């Protein structure tokens, strides 16, 4: 079974309820899926699997200080100011700069979740660009609404 990364956004009072355990992460609709590319994208932006530095580490927030305990999924979050920082980082680079940030052959050898020996470069590049544009649109929308983002892996 593949592990997929999902995003949704929520206001700060809702975030407090989730962090307190009063509300389940799974009561909110999924608004963006990175499919199985969540770890690859974090690695491309940050150069490591987890705990990437701000602002790039907020795009796929696999950060220890942004973690919520949940029995059913790995859950991370970012606050509105972190959403704005991530959005600014995403819009600071072009599509060409994004694709120049990674080497397919090196990623394939890296052992990252979402890429393996059967992964084909053409499809991989296409999927990553789609995710890059989806992330830009999603973070732009959430930054305008001044909401938090929840990211979870199931």
**Mean pLDDT along residues 117-125:** 94
Is residue 115 within 8 Å of residue 41, measured between CB atoms?
no
Domain 5-153 listed as CATH 3.40.50.360 = no
**Mean pLDDT along residues 118-147:** 95
**Mean pLDDT along residues 127-152:** 95
The mean-pLDDT minimum among 4-18, 91-105, 108-122 falls in: 4-18
Q: With bands split at pLDDT 50, 70 and 90, how would you rate the model's confidence at 68?
A: confident
What pLDDT score was predicted for residue 74?
Answer: 78
CB neighbour list of residue 153: distance below 8 Å, 6 or more residues apart: 3, 4, 5, 6, 38, 73, 74, 75
The mean-pLDDT minimum among 20-29, 39-48, 115-124 falls in: 20-29
User: Count of residues for the chain?
Assistant: 154
Domain ranges of the chain: 5-153
Tell me the torsion sign for CA atoms 59, 133, 44, 4: positive
Is residue 27 scored above 80 in pLDDT? no
Q: Which of 108, 38, 120, 48 has its CA nearest to residue 76?
A: 38
Q: With bands split at pLDDT 50, 70 and 90, how would you rate the model's confidence at 19?
A: confident
Is residue 7 within 8 Å of residue 138, measured between CB atoms?
yes
**Mean pLDDT along residues 131-142:** 96
At 70 the three-state DSSP class reads coil
What pLDDT score was predicted for residue 30?
Answer: 67
What pLDDT score was predicted for residue 94?
Answer: 98
What pLDDT score was predicted for residue 1?
Answer: 54
Is residue 121 scored above 90 in pLDDT? yes
Helix boundaries (H) for the chain: 12-20, 38-46, 80-91, 95-99, 104-109, 121-145
The mean-pLDDT minimum among 19-28, 88-97, 123-132 falls in: 19-28
- Max CA distance (Å), the chain: 45
- Quote the CA–CA distance of 49 and 110 in Å, as a whole number: 10
């Amino acid at each position: 079974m593949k592990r997929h990364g999902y995003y949704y956004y929520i206001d700060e009072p809702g975030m407090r309820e989730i962090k307190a355990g009063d509300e389940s992460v799974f009561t909110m609709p999924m608004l963006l899926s990175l499919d199985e590319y969540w770890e690859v994208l974090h690695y491309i932006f940050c150069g490591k699997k987890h705990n990437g530095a701000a602002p790039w580490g907020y795009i796929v927030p696999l950060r220890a200080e942004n973690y919520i305990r949940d029995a059913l999924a790995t859950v991370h979050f970012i606050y509105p100011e972190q959403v704005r920082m991530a959005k600014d980082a995403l819009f600071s680079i072009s599509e060409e700069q994004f694709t120049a940030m990674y080497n397919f052959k090196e990623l394939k050898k890296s052992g990252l979740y979402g890429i393996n020996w059967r992964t084909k470069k053409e499809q991989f590049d296409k999927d990553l660009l789609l995710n890059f544009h989806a992330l830009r649109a999603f973070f732009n929308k959430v930054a305008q609404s001044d909401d938090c983002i929840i990211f979870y892996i199931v």
